[in-house]
Structure 1
Amino acid sequence: MSHQFKPGDLALVINHTYPPAIGLCVELVSRHLVGPVDRRNPMDPGVYEQAKGDPIWVVAEMEGQADCIVWEKWIMPLRGDFAPEQQKSEAVLA
């Protein structure tokens, strides 16, 4: 699924390698294209920009936590044309 995200949009983290990040509401800060992650050296972040890489976003948690990165495929928009439709509840009159 491809979205037209832009900086400042709100999104929900729906997957992450760091489980506590899942479910966070974040603000998108900047988009980057990166190559595959190299996990062999634990001191090497393994994420490097590449012209034909996969999209990631630097995000800021809404509650003032530190910035982190999230793969674009792991975020869901929370507003705008691409946001999931809200179900409207119908009040039952008694």
Structure 2
Amino acid sequence: MSHNFKPGALALIVNSGAPENIGKTVRLVEFVAPHGERFIHEGVMFNPRREDTWIVESLDGSKNLVGGYIQRNIMVSSGPCRQKWLMPLRGDFTPEQQKSREVSA
């Protein structure tokens, strides 16, 4: 399932090894293709990726993405998330009530 994600796009975490991350809105930073090498992000070493992964960052900049793919339960504002666990957020999210007021004005 391809969502044509792009850096800078917003996404919702819909699954995670750390349940507290589910429902968080994040910004996509960098795509990490499956490979056999470890990599370092924000000073933390991560194991090789077996599937498509994105480095994501919390929108509020708080250190609140935890567990799962972030080793040793270190709390950081960004880290890897499997692409299949992300749902793209696109389109107009203006509440319908506000839209109808704008049209009548």
What is the TM-score with the length of structure 2 in the denominator?
0.60
Q: How does 1:57-68 map to 2 (within 5 A)?
A: 57-65=54-62, 66-68=77-79
Q: How does 1:72-83 map to 2 (within 5 A)?
A: 72-80=83-91
Higher alpha-carbon deviation: 61-70 or 20-29: 61-70
- The amino acid across from 2:84 in the alignment is K
Q: Are 1:19 and 2:30 an aligned pair? A: no
> Which has more helix, going by share of residues?
2
TM-superposed CA distance for 1:71, in Å, is: 0.2
Question: Structure 1 unaligned runs (5+)?
Answer: 37-43
Q: How many residues align?
A: 76
Deviations 1:3-24 (A, max 9, x none): 1000000000000001111000
TM-score by length of 1: 0.66
Partner of 2:53: 56
**Distance of 1:4 and 1:67 partners within structure 2:** 21
